Amino acid sequence: MKRSCRRSSAAKALSLLACTALLAGCAGERAPKPAEWSPLAPPAHAAREPLPDDAERSAVRIAAAALAGRRADAEAESAALEREDAAREARGEERSGLADNAAELIAACDGSEAFPQDVDELLARDDLDPALRRRLEHARDTTPLAIADTRLSEELRFKVGSLFNRIVEPLSTLAISGAINPVAAARGALSTLLTAWSFPSASPREREALHEYDEWLARHPESPDGAEVRAEADTLREKLARERSRRDLRGANTAAGRHEWDVVEILAGRALRQTPDSSEAQRLLATARSELAAEDARAHSSLTVRELVPASLSPEQSERYLALARATAVAPPGEVARDARLFAAAGAPAELAPELRLLESFEPLGRGDEDATAAALAAVPGSRDAPDTASRQAGALLADSSRNAWAHYLEARSADDRARWRWIALGQFANGFPDRGLWRPLETLLDVPGLAMTLASFPLRMIQYPGARSHFAGGVVIQGERYVARYPQGVHAEQVHGELEELYAQRGYVAAALRHAEARQSPDAKAVAGYRAALAQQLVDSSQKEKRVDVRLAYLGTVLREFGDTPAAKEAREKFHKEKTDASPQKIRLTHDFLVENPALWGPGALGIAPELLDGKRANGEIAERGVTLLGKNVIQLELEDREPMVAHVPPDDFARFVALLEETSRAGLERDEREKAVPDAARDEFLSDARLGLAGADPRSSARSEAVYQSTHEKYGFVHSRDSILPVDIVLQGDIDTLGLAAFPRIRMPEPAPDELLYE
């Protein structure tokens, strides 16, 4: 009895202990705070805007007069505004801050053509707010003549800077390190000469300047400055025509070296249209035309036949010849070969021998013996001194990279071996000395020091070789694929599959490696499993790079369906589940810090979030770093610290106002901060545009979903605002272990490429 009581009390004590422990654990997790239960504050209107004062009413009247084209009224109203500001100042009050906007409005009355002329006057004012100043400076700097001047000065800076930077480095090395390494100094001097030589004579910057001059001339045909601008434009145009002609002629000469006369005809013709008096273009065009005519004549000749049957045949041989021709037309290849052999043995004339050997090569062809067919075809030319036409037919068959794929595969492999050895031995000079368009012996001379250093660094390339292996063998892969496509059951298929598998694996093309591994007669189960695992992982990784959720799901679904046995399948399943559960028509996110930076967005009349959630105190609940996500329509998701995310509906009117404020905030950021760049996202803009009008729906198409993120300034750019140096040069300290050279020198900073440079390349 006592023992049972003791057992019972021990059990009670244990239970009590467990309960205590459980309660202690629960006590560690704080109870939800009111704002976490209900993250949106009770509906409240935004603070009412004060009624417009006299200055604001004046500003509206100026705007109305400007829009209606009544410049005099606008100016009169502007004067009234100035008087109002003066009166405020006299009373010791703040000025309205609207005078600068009024001045801009009046300047705008003359239209966009005349506006740039007024910009300088506006910029001279000292009461411009920074955003307006930035906008005006932008207007001034984007006029055609301003852009043209900027590009031409950038071009000059680029050329001077390139030469200066190339000269100053070897000079500094010589000055500091003495004549320790005259070779490096000499090479530096040579590279300077080459830089000067290779400056394009019509660079993209100059072409853009030409375009801007033309644009200006089209807009201002009557301007007194027209003659000067036209002259500058003509100079640039002539330069451009010469450059184009030079390039076309260079291409035409290269094509002529390769006997590609149709290309020569096109390029030389183009050069001639640019520079009609170019004798070189005329000569090339004439040569191309005569070569093409000769080619046509040769082609016509090759399509004729010398005789129906050889004249030397006896009547009996003639009948036999005809029987052989009939058999050739319809009989199986083996029989054709046999008949040809019999005819040859029966004393066919010598001139028929190559044709009969060509027919004999049908025998292995009938058996499907690739190697024997190639050997038989190679044996068709049997004479040392009598070129015959049947041999060239055999040659054509052997030259066919698809039909004779194995021989071409072997050839590609040999070429690859040679290329790799050349690279190991000669590095960057593996394909000869680079062509800079200079006199060839001079080019060779210039590269001799480089070649010597390259040869000396041969051991380094031996070390680099395993990593560089994947850059080779492109031709082997193409030819190998041709072989297995043409002869899937071919005698060499197993070998080709094995080698292609290895090559693809080296390049990281796992899918292709897997295809070839599986095509082998006895697939290596371990290798196949490895490729499958790697491919599945690649698919999972790729899915995360896709913007569209349906594409992401398709990738993950493929992993689950096709590669369910791989380790990546677990991750794919989790991601698939997350994508599905998190699915929403929109996914536009505003981070915690962005909201803190812009309180108007979440205040009353906008998102209306409870202020405790953004006061930085976690004890009363706080929105997590990820912030708030717009899910579509007027639904938002709030990520809370230590809590599950909550979904809330914002009143439609408040949501529309929030969106308008959000767009206004972005626009103000773009005007205020030069680091801000407009990020293209059409789906985001479409959603916000509809939401502002109260039309935002829940478009289910993945292509309509945006995952834009609004971040605070310091999240994007950090806390320190770095500024570019006002000096046009950087100071460089440089040391080189190879040459033991030390240098310290200024380097001219090169101009950044223009944002639309690609339109002029």
Partner 1 sequence: MTRAGARRFGARACAALVALGLAGCHSWVPPSAPTDQPTQDLLEVVAVLRLHVDDDTYRFPPARDVSGRNVYRASFERLESLETAHPEKLSSGYATDVLWFSKARALERLGEYELATLHYERVFQLDTELTEPARRGYAVCRRLALATAPDPKPVDRTPQEVADRWTERRRQLEELKSDVAGEHWRYVVEEEIERGDAAESAYFTAQAAIDPRLEPTALQRATQLVEVHRESKNKNRHMLALADLYAELSRRYARRYPPASLGFDPATFDEYAEDATKLYEVVAQQDGTVEKLEAAHKLEAYLSYMLQVHEEKLPPQ
Write out the binding residues for partner 1, residues 527-556 only, by CB under 8 A: 548
Nearest distance from C-beta of residue 330 to partner 1, angstroms: 5
**387 is a site residue for partner 1 (CB under 8 A):** yes
Half-sphere exposure (Cβ direction) of 324: Cα atoms closer than 13 Å = 23
Q: Per-residue string for binding with partner 1, 333-352, x by CB under 8 A?
A: x--x--------------xx
Q: Which of residues 241-270 bind partner 1 (CB under 8 A)?
A: none
Segment lying near partner 1 (by CB under 8 A), choices 59-67, 109-117, 302-310, 610-618: 302-310
Interaction mask 123-152, partner 1, x per CB under 8 A: ------------------------------
Contact 220, 226 (CB under 8 A): yes
Phi-psi region of 198 (alpha: psi -120 to 50; beta: other; left: phi over 0): alpha
Of 149 and 686, CB closest to partner 1: 686
CB of 344 closer than 8 Å to CB of 465: no
Q: Does 489 bind partner 1 (CB under 8 A)?
A: no
Kindly identify the residues of this chain, within the stretch 619-648, that bind partner 1 according to CB under 8 A: none
Q: Among 124, 308, 726, 733, which residue interacts with partner 1 (rule: CB under 8 A)?
A: 308
Q: Which of 32, 689, 728, 744 binds partner 1 (CB under 8 A)?
A: 689
One of 30, 259, 436, 469 touching partner 1 (CB under 8 A): 469
Contacts of residue 52, Cβ cutoff 8 Å, sequence gap at least 6: 60
Query: Which residues make Cβ contacts (< 8 Å) with residue 352, sequence separation at least 6?
Result: 310, 321, 343, 344
CB of 92 to partner 1, least distance (A): 39
Q: Is 683 among the residues that bind partner 1 (CB under 8 A)?
A: yes
* Contact between residue 176 and residue 743 where contact means Cβ atoms under 8 Å apart: yes
Please calculate the CA angle 513-515-518 and round it to the nearest 5 degrees.
105
Q: Which of 445, 485, 647, 744 binds partner 1 (CB under 8 A)?
A: 485
Judging by beta carbons within 10 Å of its beta carbon (0-12, 13-18, 19+), is residue 439 exposed, middle or buried?
A: exposed
CA distance 322 to 751: 79
Q: Kindly state whether residue 667 participates in binding partner 1, applying the rule CB under 8 A.
A: yes
290 forms part of the interface with partner 1 (CB under 8 A): no
**Which positions ≥6 away from 695 have C-beta within 8 Å?**
none
Would the CA dihedral through 392, 394, 398, 403 be positive or negative?
positive
CB 718 within 8 A of CB 697: no
Q: How far is the CB of 203 from partner 1 (least distance, A)?
A: 21
Closest C-alpha among 50, 47, 54 to residue 98 = 54
Q: Is 511 in the site for partner 1 (CB under 8 A)?
A: no
Contact 638, 648 (CB under 8 A): yes
Among 82, 686, 707, 757, binds partner 1 (CB under 8 A): 686
Closest alpha carbon to 706 in 529, 547, 560: 547
The least distance separating partner 1 from the CB of residue 479, rounded to whole angstroms, comes to 8
Residues 698-717 that bind partner 1 (CB under 8 A): 699, 701, 703-704
- For partner 1, the closer of residues 105 and 683 by Cβ is 683
- Judged by beta carbon, residue 289 or residue 420, the one nearer partner 1 is 420
Contact 327, 319 (CB under 8 A): no
Least separation in angstroms between CB 712 and partner 1: 17
* Residue 328 to residue 342: CA distance in whole angstroms: 14
Q: Quick one: which segment of 221-229, 478-486, 618-626, 650-658 binds partner 1 (CB under 8 A)?
A: 478-486
Q: How far is CA 103 from CA 74, 108, 119, 310, 379, in A?
A: 9, 9, 10, 100, 93
Binding-site size, partner 1 (CB under 8 A): 83
Distance from C-alpha of 436 to C-alpha of 446, rounded to nearest angstrom? 11
Contact call for residue 680 and partner 1 (CB under 8 A): yes
Looking at the Cβ atoms of 330 and 737, the one nearer to partner 1 is 330
Which of 5, 24, 90, 329: binder of partner 1 (CB under 8 A)? Answer: 329
- Comparison of 4 and 302: residue with beta carbon closer to partner 1: 302
Q: Find tokens 């009143």 and name the residue.
A: 651
Dist CA 632 CA 582 (whole Å): 13
| Backbone φ and ψ of 605, nearest 5° | 85, -5
Judged by CB under 8 A, the residue of 477, 607, 691, 696 near partner 1 is 477
Structure tokens at 693: 């009008």
Q: How far is the CB of 301 from partner 1 (least distance, A)?
A: 5
Residue with Cβ nearer partner 1 (286 or 425):
425
365 binds partner 1 (CB under 8 A): yes
Stretch of 109-117, 242-250, 473-481, 566-574 contacting partner 1, by CB under 8 A: 473-481
Of 215 and 671, CB closest to partner 1:
671
Q: Which two tokens stand for residue 327?
A: 């058999």
Q: Is residue 459 a contact residue for partner 1 (CB under 8 A)?
A: no
- Closest distance of CB 603 from partner 1, Å: 22
682 forms part of the interface with partner 1 (CB under 8 A) = yes
The radius of gyration computed from the CA coordinates of the chain, to the nearest angstrom, equals 40
Of 663, 673, 707, 715, the residue at the interface with partner 1 (CB under 8 A) is 663
Q: Taking contact as CB under 8 A, which single stretch among the options 185-193, 229-237, 385-393, 451-459 is the one that binds partner 1?
A: 385-393
Tokens of 123: 């910029």
Contact flag: residue 358 with partner 1 (CB under 8 A): yes
Which residue's CB is nearer to partner 1, number 86 or number 695? 695
Contact status: 208 vs partner 1 (CB under 8 A): no
List the interface residues with partner 1, window 394-423 (CB under 8 A).
395-397, 400, 402-403, 413-414, 417-418, 420-421
Q: How far is the CB of 600 from partner 1 (least distance, A)?
A: 17
* Coil vs helix vs strand at 637: strand
Q: How far from chain centre, in Å, is Cα 22?
A: 57
- Buried-exposed string 617-648: b where 16+ CB fall within 10 A, e elsewhere: eeeebbbbebbbbbbbbbbbbbbbeeeeeeeb
For residue 152, the one-letter residue type is L
Torsion of CA 382, 385, 390, 393, to 10 degrees: 90
Kindly tell me which of 506 and 734 has the beta carbon lying closer to partner 1: 506
φ and ψ of 309, to 5 deg: -135, 155
Contact between 678 and partner 1 by CB under 8 A: the answer reads yes
Taking the C-alpha atoms of residue 147 and residue 116, their distance in angstroms, rounded to an integer, is 13
Which strands make up the sheet holding 588-590, listed edge to edge? Answer: 646-649, 635-640, 623-632, 588-590, 709-710
Say whether residue 359 binds partner 1 (CB under 8 A): yes
Nearest residue (CB) to partner 1, 197 versus 421: 421
- Nearer residue to partner 1 within complex by CB, 280 or 699: 699
- Interaction mask 19-58, partner 1, x per CB under 8 A: ----------------------------------------
Is residue 315 within the footprint of partner 1 (CB under 8 A)?
no
Q: Which of 200, 310, 449, 651 binds partner 1 (CB under 8 A)?
A: 310
Judge contact between 189 and 196, C-beta under 8 A: no
Among 369, 502, 571, 707, binds partner 1 (CB under 8 A): 502
For the bound state, the minimum distance from the C-beta of residue 548 to partner 1, rounded and expressed in Å, comes to 8
Sites for partner 1 among residues 57-116 (CB under 8 A): none
Q: Which residue in the set 309, 350, 554, 740 belongs to the binding site for partner 1 (CB under 8 A)?
A: 309
Considering the complex, state which of residue 87 and residue 759 has its C-beta at the smaller distance from partner 1.
759
